[in-house]
Amino acid sequence: MWLVLITVTLLLPLSGKVQTNTYNVTFQIAVLLPTDPQLPYDMEEVKPAIQLASDEVIRRSLLTNQYPFDVRYGNTNSSYITGPLIAIDFYAKHQADVFLGPVDGPGLAAVARYSPHWRIPVISPGGGFNYHFDNKREYQLLTRMLHSSKTILHFISRAILPHFNWTSVRIIAERNVVEAQSECYMLMGALCRELGNPNNKGESKDTCSHSIFDVDRKNETKEKLRKTLDEAKVEARILFVCMDSNLFRDFLLMASDLNMINGEYVFVYLDIFRLMRKDMNLISWYKKGVSEAENDKARRAFETVLILAVKRPDTERYQEFSHQVNALRNRTNTSGTSMAELVNPYVATFYDAVLLYAYGLNRTIESNQNYRDGFSVVRKMWNLSFEGSNGIVQISETGDRVSDYSLFDLNPKSGDFEEVGTYFGVNSSFIQLKDIYWIDEVKKTPVDVPPCGFDGRKCYVYKNPALPWIYFTASVTSVVFILTIIAFWYFKRVSFEAQLKAMNWIIEPDDLFSMEDLGVKYKLLKRERHKRGSVHHTPLSDEDNDTENGAAVKTARFKGSIVELKLIQHKTRIDINRLLLMEVKTIKDMQSEYLVRFIGACLDPPCLVNEFCSKGSLQQLLENSQIRLDDMFKYSIIHDIVKGIMYVHNSDLQAHGSLKSTNCLVGSRFVVKISDYGIPSLRCSLHQKYPANSDAYYKSLLWSAPEIIRDPHAPIQGSQKGDAYSFSIILHEIIYRRGLFATNETGVTPKEIFHSIKSGNETRPPFLGDNTLYEIGYLMKRCWQENPADRPDFTSILNTIKKLSKKFDNENLVDNLLQRMEQYTNNLEELVKERTNDYLLEKRKAEELLYRLLPQTVTAELMAGKQVTAESFEAVTIYFSDIVGFTRISAESTPLQIVSLLNDLYTCFDSIIEAFDVYKVETIGDAYMVVSGLPTRNGDLHAREISRMALTILDAVIHFRIRHRPDEQLKIRIGLHSGPCVAGVVGLKMPRYCLFGDTVNVASRMESNGQPLRIHMSPTTKGLLDKFQTFIIKARGQVNLKGKGEMLTYWLLGERDGLQVPFSNDSDIIDNQNKTETLSSDQ
């Protein structure tokens, strides 16, 4: 039959699919599955998932409507002959682009071998535990979507064995005599090769033995079980077993009969068939139809069992996906399915397979490759991550899905298997979630090799005639040893009492020098005694220098070093008693690089003197957004905190009791150190640090464990489990850097959080988005468990941190420290650069403003620190203008309207004068003054520049409209005069550049004696303009000027080929010389 299949295949065209235009292409998906309701991958179960995936492809715009899928289904009947025949039919008749399935091993092997010849990808959840499919030379286009043997083998060899320190194991596998090789047999064979063959000593240090258990239900199965166990018990204590669940139960019952259920043996069961069960439940010790005594015997035997199984999907995303599949199935299935029922992962893999194929097509098309070529598409499908039915789906570079696995242990109380560990295939990390129960409450993990060996020869004692003398010598030695211990204890006791009485930790206030004035001694004694004269004096608390309230750390200099001072709040003097001496002796002897060193204390006033940490608290470091913390930096901070708390827990203190980010101080070398530990008799109780109902009061309690918050009589020293809870809160601060409980983002106040916890709710900090340290989240959840017994100790926490940070193992201590210092230095450099740029920007703005107020030459001299002297100019032309009727307009308008009017008008004037060689002197009210010829001299051009500017301004005023009086024509008077003047800066505060001389007065008279919308100028200016022979000038006649007498003045009408004043005739501007000028009332 197979010869026919191969012949038909070879007769088919080798390249039946060619590259076509990418528009309006239909991709043919061939689904090869059986129709069998007993199987988890029944075709009718899979169809809704494939339909949802097709819709999701369009929703994600992976393939637009121009690339629809045409899904065709073929019933393989779970036959290794029918499946390949259907595949050939799909290839020849329907030009299939991808095969989804088959799932059964033989059928999948045949189709996957043909697929490279056809250049068609094969995506299937099958073949996971068959190591033959790991050969990518033979199965070049096969992608396995559920699991692979490599992952579970790595779980065992790289996680389970090192975690329990097992090296010698026994492997027992089931082999069906009919099928010759079962999945168990092939998987366990691969495991044996992974661990190394004992006969090949060069492959591995681990040893294993491989027992093949032939399953023949008709023969004497029990005798074979007994024989297998008899061979195993003399060679191993750790047995890895893979077989049918019912057979495994009989296997354990036989082990019980052989006295192997005694705590010395561990049976690790590989439940590779878990997902084949529709309910996805684990194997059970309970069996219906047997006696209660047998079930009890089986239950006890199962207490020695650890189960390795594929992790069951339990995310909210998977529940939503199951709901959608069930809803779609119920539309076409009259029997109906519970909406809350989780679909089997086999069904979900077909949803993920369609998405994976769409992503491969998308990337192939984008790279302009042949999307009909299976090799091109597969290269784009492998080494890819995307969002699937249960979260992120990651396909390895060899085309296998990276899966997660769980370790289960039997709870002796409930009789159910519970998850005690999780293996993450992405980074090959194993996290133990709970303590493992060993039978009969054995505290230690069973060893793989007995201390005396499997045959007991290591403990054999030979008879020795000198044995009595040996006993005598041992007795005398023991007596001498005991007497030595007593003498040593007595000496230590006397030395201890002497150290207590020495009190060398007491510091006199006069030995402390103030950091504010290093030349004057720190007179704490006199100052505090003076303050204590007041009944209402409230000294500082020990929280004044933690950064919760932003208070500065109080420092002093002691013996040449800077130290930190902490004044005790609730005492006016430290009374020395034996309890205090014991407490001080305890923390005085505690020396660790991860603890803030206790130096001493002042008795009066009460003050603790500690080591000074220059970088402030951890809370300050985390809240400083200008300091960037990478993952290694964060892991280093977490490691320092754990090491410090472990030292405290291993000391006589046994617990910290006030662990918080404000009590984690950062030293000059960026080592995080723990402070505020020990001396409970000198520290305020938890509820006395702040005024009741204040924000600081409730905030200080949020690091405390729930059992401490709810207990009004909680001890100040706290507990180790309470420190684990506080550590989890600090972890949240480090990971997200959003503050304590992220209250600024959630909007929940510390008071609300406190009362929620106190009332019994499990209120915890929120998880905020993605983070690169997502593994820490599992540790965080374990540490803030409501039940203190469920929280891990810090030894377990340290081991977890080391495993999670193993990617930084290549970084030694010096490199780590240098990188911390370099990162901090870079942050400071960026901060200095940013501040410098801000300074230069503000400096430039100030200079620009100064240049607008004063001439640039004068500004340059002022900025250079030079004395600015007045300067005389021989010839300049001055412009004056004034608004006609401004007093009346002001009376009829609001102040804001007047300001708006002047701003619009002077903005117009300012834009005009930029086109001329003039300098704006000042504006006073409605008066506008401009000069040309200074501060830069321009010969006789000053008269021409001012005249042209005046004509331009007058033309602009004629067309200017007042916003709040649009029907009224704005009118101004303009006066011009030329002559000498003196210019200089007057005043130190708000200096002004002023002009002095008779020229200024005459120019002002020209303006005040002018007429609306007229340019009035003196004979001097007229004489200068005549040199240019381009200006139109008319004589006005004799005008009586105040202080000057009669003077012949002129009107400037315009410039030839330029601007001209639009008058109807010249008679409007020629006045009778004898006419007496009457000035308007608003002059």
Share of the chain above pLDDT 70, in %: 80
What would the pLDDT profile of 324-358 be if each residue is shown by its tens digit?
Answer: 999 998 887 655 556 668 888 999 999 999 999 99
Who wins on pLDDT, 182 or 1068?
Answer: 182
Who wins on pLDDT, 669 or 1031?
Answer: 1031
DSSP string computed for 591-620: --TTBPPEEEEETTTTEEEEE--TT-BHHH
Who wins on pLDDT, 34 or 860?
Answer: 34
**Taking the CB of residue 470, how many other CB atoms lie within 10 A of it?**
10
Flag whether 488 is in a domain. no
Q: How many domains does the chain have?
A: 4
State whether 635 and 784 are in the same domain: yes
**605 upstream amide cis, omega within 30 of 0:** yes
Average pLDDT of every residue of the chain: 81
Structure token pair of residue 905: 């008008």
Between helix 631-650 and helix 794-804 the angle, nearest 10°, is 160
State whether 946 and 993 are in the same domain: yes
Confidence of residue 627 (pLDDT cuts 50, 70, 90): confident
Interatomic CA distance for residues 224 and 232, integer angstroms: 12
Residues paired with residue 215 on neighbouring β-strands, in sequence order: 176
Structure token pair of residue 104: 């059964």
State whether 437 and 374 are in the same domain: no
Classify the phi-psi angles of 1034: left when phi > 0, otherwise alpha if psi is within -120 to 50, otherwise beta: beta
User: Which of 809, 826, 846 corresponds to the end of one domain?
Assistant: 809
Q: Is the dihedral of CA 590, 595, 599, 600 positive or negative?
A: negative
DSSP string computed for 851-888: HHHS-HHHHHHHHTTPPPPPEEEEEEEEEEEEETTHHH
Whether the CB-CB separation of 771 and 736 falls below 8 Å is answered with: yes
Confidence of residue 192 (pLDDT cuts 50, 70, 90): confident
Contacts of range 741-745, beta carbons closer than 8 Å, 24 or more positions apart: 741/702, 741/765, 741/766, 742/766, 742/768
State whether 744 and 797 are in the same domain: yes
The rounded Cα 1045 to chain-centroid distance in angstroms is: 85
**What is the H or E stretch that residue 498 is in?**
helix 467-502
pLDDT score of 25: 77
Asked if pLDDT for residue 1080 goes beyond 60, the answer is: no
User: Which of 789, 809, 829 corresponds to the end of one domain?
Assistant: 809
Tell me the mean pLDDT in the region 363-389: 93
Q: What Rg value do the Cα atoms of the chain yield, rounded?
A: 47
pLDDT score of 804: 82
State whether 717 and 799 are in the same domain: yes
Highest mean pLDDT among 789-798, 915-924, 1069-1078: 789-798
Burial 323-358 (b: 16+ CB within 10 A, else e): bbbbebbeeeeeeebeeeebbbbbbbbbbbbbbbbb
State whether 923 and 1040 are in the same domain: yes
Confidence of residue 544 (pLDDT cuts 50, 70, 90): very low
Asked if pLDDT for residue 552 goes beyond 90, the answer is: no
Asked if pLDDT for residue 885 goes beyond 50, the answer is: yes
State whether 100 and 206 are in the same domain: no
State whether 105 and 177 are in the same domain: no
Burial 155-190 (b: 16+ CB within 10 A, else e): bbbebbbebbebbbbbbbbbbbeeeeebbbbbbbbb
Flag whether 1044 is in a domain. yes
Can you give the CATH number for the domain in which 13 is found?
A: 3.40.50.2300
Asked if pLDDT for residue 662 goes beyond 70, the answer is: yes
Nearest partner of 550 among 674, 672, 665, 696, judged by Cα: 696
Flag whether 219 is in a domain. yes
Whether the CB-CB separation of 260 and 233 falls below 8 Å is answered with: yes
What would the pLDDT profile of 77-88 be if each residue is shown by its tens digit?
Answer: 988 899 999 999
Flag whether 240 is in a domain. yes
How much is the pTM? 0.46
pLDDT score of 347: 93
Tell me the mean pLDDT in the region 856-867: 66
Flag whether 421 is in a domain. yes
Structural domain boundaries, residue 953: 856-1068
**Residues recorded for the chain:** 1083
State whether 423 and 555 are in the same domain: no
Structure token pair of residue 784: 């803030």
Sheet holding 142-144, edge to edge: 69-75, 27-33, 98-100, 122-124, 142-144
**Taking the CB of residue 77, how many other CB atoms lie within 10 A of it?**
14
Confidence of residue 967 (pLDDT cuts 50, 70, 90): confident
Who wins on pLDDT, 207 or 866?
Answer: 866
What would the pLDDT profile of 442-456 be if each residue is shown by its tens digit?
Answer: 778 898 888 888 777
Confidence of residue 132 (pLDDT cuts 50, 70, 90): confident
Lowest mean pLDDT among 188-192, 419-423, 432-436, 499-503: 499-503
State whether 703 and 795 are in the same domain: yes
Alpha-carbon distance values, 609 to 594, 676, 876 (Å): 17, 11, 76
Highest mean pLDDT among 555-559, 704-708, 1078-1082: 704-708
Tell me the mean pLDDT in the region 938-960: 91
Q: What are the start-end ranges of the E strands in 35-108?
A: 69-75, 98-100
Interatomic CA distance for residues 245 and 298, integer angstroms: 13
Lowest mean pLDDT among 599-613, 628-642, 838-852: 838-852
Flag whether 484 is in a domain. no
Asked if pLDDT for residue 435 goes beyond 70, the answer is: yes
pLDDT score of 395: 93
What would the pLDDT profile of 205-232 be if each residue is shown by its tens digit?
Answer: 445 666 666 655 555 578 888 888 888 8
Whether the CB-CB separation of 110 and 88 falls below 8 Å is answered with: no
Share of the chain above pLDDT 90, in %: 32
Asked if pLDDT for residue 462 goes beyond 70, the answer is: no
Can you give the CATH number for the domain in which 980 is found?
A: 3.30.70.1230
Alpha-carbon distance values, 297 to 244, 249, 257, 292, 301 (Å): 19, 10, 10, 9, 6
Whether the CB-CB separation of 110 and 103 falls below 8 Å is answered with: no
pLDDT score of 182: 75
User: Which of 752, 777, 809 corresponds to the end of one domain?
Assistant: 809
pLDDT score of 703: 93
State whether 862 and 955 are in the same domain: yes
Lowest mean pLDDT among 59-68, 232-241, 648-657, 781-790: 59-68
State whether 989 and 871 are in the same domain: yes
Return the SS3 of 216: coil
DSSP string computed for 808-848: GTTS-HHHHHHHHHHHHHHHHHHHHHHHHHHHHHHHHHHHH
Flag whether 480 is in a domain. no
**Taking the CB of residue 367, how many other CB atoms lie within 10 A of it?**
11
Residue listed under structure tokens 């006791």: 493
Flag whether 641 is in a domain. yes
Whether the CB-CB separation of 522 and 513 falls below 8 Å is answered with: yes
Structure token pair of residue 870: 């007045």
What would the pLDDT profile of 239-278 be if each residue is shown by its tens digit?
Answer: 999 888 888 899 999 999 999 998 889 999 998 877 777 6
Interatomic CA distance for residues 570 and 918, integer angstroms: 75
